[in-house]
């Protein structure tokens, strides 16, 4: 029973003045501790809703959602939400500062992460002085500062241009694996899902139901997201998932 997330027969209905929207329909899935999984599905099918339920921001209408962790849940979004008037060091420390937990030890941890992930020369810089990829890295470090066991990533690379996106998803994927976090990545990008994940959950169009699960096994030495793309099995996974996402089938 080393599942860190267990969802059983979960449905979620949004109630608005215009009526009810069934966003998630009888979804069951589980995620093991330390796994990196991706969730792919058609636009508007209910992916962000599922992350919000896991984060505890939304209560499921029916069903059971268990998240077995004592630590906080890290959430990273498409937009980095760095504060432009705070330098990178102060942005990274913001969460602990608000909680009044910013000790010398935690500051050293911030320096260490910034150093390890190539931002130590930019501690005093402001977000506007950083590239899109560096900003996303800073946002990830800010999330890691809170020592979450689980990271929820909702299209975290989609605001970046294609070239940057490739290298940033490679970097961020490598960091998350090195820090041994459980990660749940929502993405539209099939290649990104395969290259980063141990498992890909494919959803139907709204209301989201589980359509299929792919265990990703790639022949690649020292598998990094970038090297995964060159593995011989990559293309077959891509084609199969692509077909599954075709809404006409």
Ligand X SMILES: Nc1ncnc2c1ncn2[C@@H]1O[C@H](COP(=O)(O)OP(=O)(O)OP(=O)(O)O)[C@@H](O)[C@H]1O
Asked whether position 49 contacts Mg ion by CB under 5 A, the answer is: no
Separation of alpha carbons 168 and 161, rounded Å: 10
Footprint on this chain of ligand X (rule: CB under 6 A): 14, 16, 21, 23, 41, 43-49, 206
Least distance to Mg ion, CB of residue 47, Å: 5
Q: Which is nearer to ligand X, 14 or 238 (CB)?
A: 14
CB 83 within 8 A of CB 91: yes
Separation of alpha carbons 106 and 89, rounded Å: 12
R_g of the chain, CA atoms, integer Å:
18
Binding site partner of 197, from Mg ion, ligand X, none, Cβ cut-off 5-8 A by kind = none
Binding site partner of 46, from ligand X, Mg ion, none, Cβ cut-off 5-8 A by kind = ligand X
Choices 11-19, 45-53, 103-111, 195-203; region in contact with Mg ion by CB under 5 A? 45-53
What residues does 73 pair with on adjacent strands?
Answer: 150
Q: Which is nearer to ligand X, 67 or 203 (CB)?
A: 203
Q: Could you tell me the two tokens for 25? A: 């329909």
Q: Which is nearer to ligand X, 187 or 195 (CB)?
A: 187
Least distance to ligand X, CB of residue 2, Å: 28
Least distance to Mg ion, CB of residue 51, Å: 8
Beta strands in the chain (DSSP E): 3-16, 19-32, 36-40, 62-67, 73-76, 150-154, 182-186, 199-203, 210-215
Separation of alpha carbons 234 and 219, rounded Å: 9
Nearest to 203 by CA among 244, 158, 148: 244
Q: Which is nearer to Mg ion, 141 or 208 (CB)?
A: 208
Q: Which is nearer to ligand X, 43 or 128 (CB)?
A: 43
Q: Which is nearer to ligand X, 83 or 213 (CB)?
A: 213
For residue 52, what is the enclosing H or E element?
A: helix 47-55
Choices 14-22, 40-48, 167-175, 209-217; region in contact with Mg ion by CB under 5 A? 40-48
Q: Single out the residue of 27, 36, 41, 48 in contact with Mg ion (rule: CB under 5 A).
A: 48
Nearest to 237 by CA among 186, 209, 202, 207: 202
Least distance to ligand X, CB of residue 152, Å: 12
Give, in degrees to the nearest 5, the angle at Cα 34 between 60 and 111: 105
Least distance to ligand X, CB of residue 167, Å: 23
Q: Which residues bind Mg ion (CB under 5 A)?
A: 48
């Amino acid at each position: 029973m080393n599942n860190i997330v267990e969802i059983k027969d979960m449905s979620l209905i949004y109630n608005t003045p215009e009526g009810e929207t069934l966003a998630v329909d009888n979804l069951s899935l589980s995620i093991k501790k330390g796994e990196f999984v991706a969730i792919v599905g058609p636009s508007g099918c209910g992916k962000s809703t599922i992350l919000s339920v896991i984060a505890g921001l939304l209560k499921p209408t029916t069903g059971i959602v268990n998240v077995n962790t004592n630590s906080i849940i890290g959430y990273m979004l498409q937009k980095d939400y760095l504060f432009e008037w705070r330098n990178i060091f102060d942005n990274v420390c913001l969460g602990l500062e608000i909680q009044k937990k910013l000790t010398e030890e935690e500051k050293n941890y911030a320096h260490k992460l910034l150093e390890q992930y190539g931002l130590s020369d930019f501690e005093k810089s402001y977000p506007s002085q950083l590239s899109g990829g560096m900003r996303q890295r800073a946002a990830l470090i800010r999330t890691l500062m809170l020592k979450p066991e689980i990271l929820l990533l909702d299209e975290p690379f989609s605001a970046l241009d294609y070239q940057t996106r490739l290298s940033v998803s490679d970097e961020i994927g490598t960091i998350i694996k090195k820090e041994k976090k459980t990660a749940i990545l929502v993405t539209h990008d099939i290649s990104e899902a395969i290259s980063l994940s141990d498992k890909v959950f494919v959803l139907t169009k709204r209301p989201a139901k589980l359509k299929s699960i792919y265990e990703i096994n790639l022949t690649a030495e020292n598998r990094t997201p970038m090297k995964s793309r060159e593995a011989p099995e990559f293309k077959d996974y891509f084609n199969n998932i692509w077909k599954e996402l075709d809404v006409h089938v």
